[in-house]
Amino acid sequence: MRTIIELQKEADRLRKVVDEASISPEDTFGLQAGALDYLAQVELNASALGVRQAYQTVEEMEADAEPYGANDKQLRFGQLVSVYNTADADYAANGNIYAWQGADAEERWMLIGNIADLDAVYLRLDELNAGVASATALTAQMQTDIGTLQTRATAINGRAQAAQETADKALAAGVAAQDAADAAQQTADAAQQAANDALDAGAIAQEAANKAQLTADAAQQVASQAPDVAMERVEALVGKTIAPLDGNGLVPASYLPAYVDDVVEIARLYAWSYGADATRLPEGATDKRADSAGCRVVYIELGAWTDGEYGEVEAGLFLEDSSGAATQWYSEWSGMSTWADDLGNGLEGKVYICTADCKTYRWGGARLVVIGSDLALGETSSTAFAGSRGVALEQRVGELEKDADDLGKHAVALEQRANELEELLAQTDSKMAVMTQEEYDELDELNPNVFYFIVEDE
């Protein structure tokens, strides 16, 4: 428990405090609790002025570290006891009155006086009562001071709370401003990315348009030259592969077959030889026809087969049979007269169309020869350009022109998007500058309200 002097010093210290939020609840309520504790102790001491116990000797009293009163209750601070030796009326301490100071005090018993001198005892009691009254008055004053301090502390705390609320509002406003700045930065970043995407898409579209234009120009050139090339080739073939016209605009009879039936097909022409161990041309005939399953008429060049037994086989027309496990060739077959004579020779006036190379042949007396030029359809300098390919090329040119038109429309859309981005930048009080990396490096300083877009040097 704090003494009355300590409580007075603490009250005086708090009375001088003027700074906001410098008096805590612990200071004010702690001082009040200390004063109440002291007052309670004084009241207890005041109620203890009666003699609670009598000891025979001073030694017996001092030896009692936990004294109890006659009512079997432990003594409290300030309660009184007396010493009277009933066996020795002349004992020097007879009639002495002592006040208990506590087990931890340096002197646990304080001499108050002697019963023989009642006036002195009463005077001492009056002094104690006066001390109690003074302590009570001081405690009341301290309670009043504590109330004043509490009022001041409440006012100070109110001002501190208002300041804290103002600070909280300022902080919230700062957070809102930061959020707005972040949102503006995100909008600017989105505009930057959209502009970059537009520039990239524009470059890609331009490159694609350039390539399409080059392809279309090349196709147009080929298409424009195709009729002239085709006409030159046709004129070169007139009288050879292509029959000329006479003065009446008709094909001369020498270029026409005698009958429609004089045009027959052959599968292919052989111009190679087998070794002695290869399949040999069998002798004899077969009842198979050219339209039988696995059968077709072929022409074999002179010297195609040689072996020790049969010698060289004459060139001629044969029936090739691939329906079995091994291919067979027959020198006689059913319907042979449509293609050849009994010896396998070609027929005069017959036109033979080879389905393998799309060329036409006639019998030259000893072998098949090409009618007119051996020029065929193809894509080389010695072939004719197919008309169907020319039509396909023209269609492709049209598709490329349409693609070029679509790319143009896409470029217009990109330009519109770029204009929208410029308007967005204008709304955000920002500008856009497009420059090369070299131009960007030469800038002395950067404008914070300008978006810089770096493009590659063309």
- Terminal Cα distance for the chain, rounded: 93
pLDDT at position 210 is 79
Of 423, 450, 434, nearest in space to 199 by CA: 434
CA angle, residues 130, 134, 138, in degrees to nearest 5: 170
CA angle, residues 393, 398, 400, in degrees to nearest 5: 95
Phi and psi at 213, nearest 5°, equal -65, -40
Tokens of 278: 């290869």
Task: Tell me the sheet residues that pair with 106.
Answer: none
Q: How many Cβ atoms from other residues are within 10 Å of residue 227's Cβ?
A: 10
What string of pLDDT tens digits covers the 458 residues of the chain?
677 678 778 887 877 777 776 777 787 777 777 777 766 665 555 555 578 999 999 999 999 999 999 889 999 998 999 999 999 989 999 999 999 999 998 899 999 888 766 555 556 666 766 766 776 787 788 778 777 877 877 887 788 788 788 888 878 887 887 887 788 788 778 777 877 787 777 778 777 777 767 776 776 776 566 566 666 765 666 655 566 777 776 667 666 655 545 889 999 887 655 544 345 555 568 899 999 999 999 998 755 455 444 445 567 888 989 998 888 888 899 999 999 998 889 998 899 999 988 889 999 888 888 887 665 656 666 566 666 777 788 888 888 888 888 888 888 888 887 787 777 766 665 677 788 888 888 888 888 777 777 877 65
- Please tell me what DSSP assigns to residue 87: T
Tokens of 185: 């930065």
Task: Report d(CA 48, CA 58) in Å as an integer.
Answer: 20
Of 300, 306, 307, 308, nearest in space to 331 by CA: 300
Tokens of 308: 């020790």
Residue 347, amino acid: L
pTM, whole model, 2 decimals? 0.31
Those residues with Cβ within 8 angstroms of residue 450's Cβ, 6 or more apart along the chain or in another chain = 430, 431, 432, 433
Measured CA to CA in angstroms, residue 292 lies from 99, 226, 394, 401 at distances of 150, 43, 43, 51
Those residues with Cβ within 8 angstroms of residue 253's Cβ, 6 or more apart along the chain or in another chain = none
Task: Report d(CA 340, CA 332) in Å as an integer.
Answer: 10
- H/E stretch holding 317 reads strand 316-321
Task: Report d(CA 388, CA 404) in Å as an integer.
Answer: 24
Task: Report d(CA 289, CA 334) in Å as an integer.
Answer: 5
